[in-house]
Amino acid sequence: MPREWLFVRRVRDGRKRLVLPDGGLTLHSYGYVENVAHALLLAVDQPEASCGNIYNVADEQVLSLRQVAEIIGEALGHQWDIINMPYELAPCARPFVMQPLSTHRVQDVSRLRADLGYRDKVPPAQALALTARWLLAHPPAPGGAEEMVLQDPFDYAAEDRLIDAWASAGRGPAAGDFRARAAIQHVVQRAGRARAQQGRLRGLSRGETWDHSRVLPSSKSSAWAGAVRRHAAGPTWAPP
């Protein structure tokens, strides 16, 4: 699953504004192909140490989502305008996280290091740059299997409306805030419909497609989201 394509396609399409949930602070473990192959060969070559054991295999260094975006942008000569938005209000950015919450997902590779002497053959930053350049030269088909698995509709018009609504909700007067709230709600609903359509196209069943509308908010974004909603709602009006 080429998660880097989420960024590379936006570079190809000339997108400058990039929404990252919770500031892109989420940490995810990944494994570059050469590093994973190296770990497997270490286990094969040291049967006395590896026999009967189970190991987590991933890159030693774990990059945040924002670091991933910045490394790919730098590798492709692209400058992002990163917009920090609470996870709850950023449906267009949820494919970046690849899970129903923006919590960390880090694999413990200490046993792999201790038993087999594993070290990254290719630093993750270099691996990201290599992967991004390869994807730029060999792009997946638009709307193809890779993009369906990634569940990103690449709906830039919806992303722009969400970004503009977010900016308005943060600084506009009460009337502007009301319009911003309506725009945010419209974009969230539209993104949900797009994900549902992709799930139907893939023929997925039995909960294989995440239903973000049923997921509880992450603790680090719920307070932000509540504050934004209260700000956008403005004063409560009641008839005399």
State which residues form the domain around 106.
5-141
Tens-place pLDDT, residues 91-100: 899 999 988 8
Coil vs helix vs strand at 237 = coil
Within a domain: residue 10?
yes
Q: Distance between CA atoms of 20 and 83, rounded to whole angstroms?
A: 6
Q: Which pLDDT value is given to residue 169? A: 83
Q: Residue 221 pLDDT more than 70? A: no
- Least Cα distance to 82 among 164, 154, 168, 20 occurs for 20
Q: Distance between CA atoms of 86 and 147, rounded to whole angstroms?
A: 24
Within a domain: residue 239?
no
Within a domain: residue 175?
no
Within a domain: residue 203?
no
Percent pLDDT > 90 in the chain is 61
* For range 34-59, the mean pLDDT: 97
What pTM was computed for the model? 0.71
Least confident of 95-104, 116-125, 163-172, 190-199: 190-199
Tens-place pLDDT, residues 137-166: 999 999 999 999 999 999 999 999 999 999
Tens-place pLDDT, residues 18-46: 999 999 999 999 999 999 999 999 999 99
- Least Cα distance to 120 among 60, 55, 200 occurs for 60
Element (H, E) at 189: helix 174-202
Residues with Cβ within 8 Å of 51's Cβ and at least 6 positions away in sequence, in order, are: none
Q: Residue 204 pLDDT more than 50? A: no
The number of distinct structural domains making up the chain is 1
CATH number, position 39 = 3.40.50.720
Amino acid found at 49: A
Q: Which pLDDT value is given to residue 13? A: 97
Within a domain: residue 170?
no
Q: What share of the chain is helix, strand, coil (3-state, %, to 5)?
A: 60, 5, 35
